[in-house]
């Protein structure tokens, strides 16, 4: 009786067609963006006189210049910090410049690097003036 019960199940399985999957090629396209400077002409500005608008535009330009200076200063400080760390590592007794620098010179140079690092961290919040 078990064989008779299994036979209809096998027929049902065989009756269903097998699903075949095909590979579909997906072509990924690169997004392209184009940046263009736009000139904005102020017209019909309620509430602001031409004099006040010019004053505000000058203030905005000053803030942008100040921000650019702050960013430049931060980049230069970062470069100096990277130089200090790299040279300290390279001039150490196990560094790649160990054969080219004597022990007293190494001590002096390391001391100078430490002074530069201390100055850098002491003036960390100072901005370019």
H or E element in which residue 106 lies? helix 103-122
**Domain ranges in the chain?**
49-129
CATH classification for the domain delimited by 49-129, as one of 3.30.160, 3.30.43, 1.20.1270, 1.10.10 = 1.20.1270
Output 80 or 25, whichever has higher pLDDT.
80
Task: Give first-to-last CA distance, the chain, whole Å.
Answer: 98
Give pLDDT tens digits for 62-72: 999 999 999 99
Give pLDDT tens digits for 14-27: 556 667 777 778 77
The alpha-helical segments, DSSP class H, found in 28-122 are 50-90, 103-122
Tokens of 46: 């309620």
Global pTM reads: 0.53
CA distance readout (Å), 7 to 2, 12, 13, 17, 127: 9, 9, 10, 18, 87
């Amino acid at each position: 009786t078990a064989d008779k019960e299994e036979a209809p199940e096998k027929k049902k399985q065989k009756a269903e067609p097998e699903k075949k999957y095909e590979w579909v090629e997906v072509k990924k396209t690169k997004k392209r963006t184009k940046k263009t400077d736009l000139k904005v002409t102020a017209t019909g500005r309620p509430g602001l006189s031409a004099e006040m608008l010019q004053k505000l535009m000058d203030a905005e330009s000053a803030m942008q210049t100040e921000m650019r200076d702050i960013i430049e200063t931060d980049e230069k400080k970062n470069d100096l910090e990277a130089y200090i760390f790299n040279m300290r590592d390279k001039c150490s007794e196990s560094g790649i410049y160990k054969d080219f620098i004597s022990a007293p010179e190494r001590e002096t140079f390391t001391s100078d690097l430490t002074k530069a690092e201390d100055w850098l961290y002491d003036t960390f919040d100072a901005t370019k003036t």
